[in-house]
Amino acid sequence: MYTKTKKIAILPPIPVLEFERARRQNQYEKFAAPGTSVDVRILKGGPELTDREYELFWSTGFMILEAEQAASEGIDGILIDCTADPGIEQIAEAVDVPVIGALSAGVHLALQVGRKFSVLALDAQWERMVRSRLRDYGLTGHLASIETVGKHVYQPARGRNMVEGEAAAFINLLRAAGEKALTAGADSIILGSTTIIDGIAELENMLRIPVIAPGIAALKTLEMMIELGIRQSRRAFPKPAIAYGTKMAGLLHIQ
């Protein structure tokens, strides 16, 4: 069933500051198809950053609440804006619209264009979390390597992201990590954070293999699913017997 207009809620795993919300909103809008509207939501609570499984655990509850709220507002699909895919199973159970995780979309797209992919993770902690998710998905056999970049794009403590000179240096870090991935046997690369969107074409030209931005892969996958009328199987993701969202929102004093 073709749907001309699509409303997609984008859920970062943290209550991002407004400057970062606006940046993500702008980037997703650039890649959205005509008729697709995107809404980068700000969580009503949770950790400021998610660099550990512990922090991802606490962020998941607030993501579920936001997903349920978005679904009640008539959203057509939900994008998990994080390469750790936090809360993807729980949100898929909670709502009746398609739910896509950035890492899941990125790796499955990589397998359409090659046999072995590498992920460019931000740091060692993200390497560990991404590796864990790939193990859950049964895809480690297609993994050439996970290379660490050593720097984060989103820097809330500074109240801003990288400036022009820092951004150029960051591209060089990505290139160095990408060259290690080539040595490891990768025939495609997945960027290890949805915060990395700028510089994809430049990196592809440097490395001469496909470079996939997982958030954009998730957006395009979600648009396709909405057009085709496909959503998660209820045999795999059964609806909860009791919906706790409204009750928990009250306990947390969330409007």
Mean per-residue pLDDT for 143-160? 77
Span 81-111, pLDDT tens digits: 999 999 999 999 999 999 999 999 999 999 9
**237 shares a domain with 170:** no
E strand map for 5-102? 6-11, 36-40, 77-80, 99-101
The DSSP 8-state label assigned to residue 122 in this structure reads S
Query: Quick check: is 44 in a domain?
Result: yes
Give the bridge partners for 7, in sequence order.
37
- Is the distance from CB of 120 to CB of 236 less than 8 angstroms? no
Position 158: which residue type? Answer: R
Collapsing DSSP states into helix, strand and coil, what is residue 79? Answer: strand
Based on the fold, state whether residues 190 and 221 are members of the same structural domain.
no
Q: Which two tokens mark 187?
A: 């025939």
What is the SS3 assignment for 186?
coil
Q: Does one domain contain both 109 and 195?
A: yes
Does a structural domain hold residue 35?
A: yes
Residue 128's domain comprises 103-214
Query: Mean pLDDT throughout 3-23?
Result: 89
| Within-domain flag for 174 | yes
More confident residue, 155 or 105: 105
Non-local (6+) Cβ contacts of 196 within 8 A are 120, 153, 174, 213
* Amino acid residing at 249: A
Higher pLDDT among residues 244 and 112, named by residue:
112
Pairing label, strands 188-191, 211-212: parallel
Pair (76, 177) in one structural domain: no
Say if residue 201 is in the same domain as residue 109: yes
Mean pLDDT on 43-53: 89
The whole-number pLDDT of residue 168 equals 77
Q: Kindly report the pTM of this predicted structure.
A: 0.91
Judge whether residue 1 has pLDDT over 70: no
pLDDT at 156: 62
- Retrieve residue 233's tokens: 């199987």
Give the span between the Cα atoms of 168 and 239, in whole angstroms.
46
- Distances 41 to 16, 79, 156, 194 between C-alpha atoms, Å: 9, 10, 17, 15
Tell me how many degrees the CA angle 90-221-225 measures, rounded to the nearest 5. Answer: 75
Q: Determine, yes or no, domain membership for 55.
A: yes
Can you read off the two tokens belonging to residue 1? 């069933």
Distance from C-alpha of 176 to C-alpha of 214, rounded to nearest angstrom = 20
User: How many domains does the structure of the chain reveal?
Assistant: 2
Task: Compute CA distances 119 → 37, 88, 124, 156, whole Å.
Answer: 29, 20, 12, 24
Structure tokens at 44: 């009503």
Mean pLDDT of 8-14: 96
pLDDT range class, residue 187, cuts 50, 70, 90? very high
pLDDT greater at residue 250 or residue 129: 129
pLDDT-based confidence at residue 76 (cuts at 50, 70, 90)? very high
Do residues 196 and 162 lie in contact, with contact meaning Cβ atoms separated by under 8 Å?
no
Using the 8-state DSSP alphabet, how is residue 239 labeled?
A: P
The answer to whether position 64 is within a domain reads: yes
- 50 is written with which tokens? 């998610």
Structure tokens at 75: 């959203």
Evaluate whether residue 52 is within a structural domain. Answer: yes
* Residue 210 and residue 224 share a domain: no
pLDDT band at 196 (very low <50, low <70, confident <90, very high): confident
Q: Please indicate, yes or no, if residue 1 is contained in any of the structural domains.
A: no
For the chain, what is the mean pLDDT? 90
Cα–Cα distances in angstroms (integers) from residue 190 to residues 30, 105, 146, in the given order: 19, 10, 9
Residue 88 lies in a domain: yes
Question: Do 107 and 95 belong together in one domain?
Answer: no
Q: The domain that contains 107 carries what CATH number? A: 3.40.50.12500
CB atoms within 10 A of CB 45: 15
Give the residue-averaged pLDDT of 28-57.
93
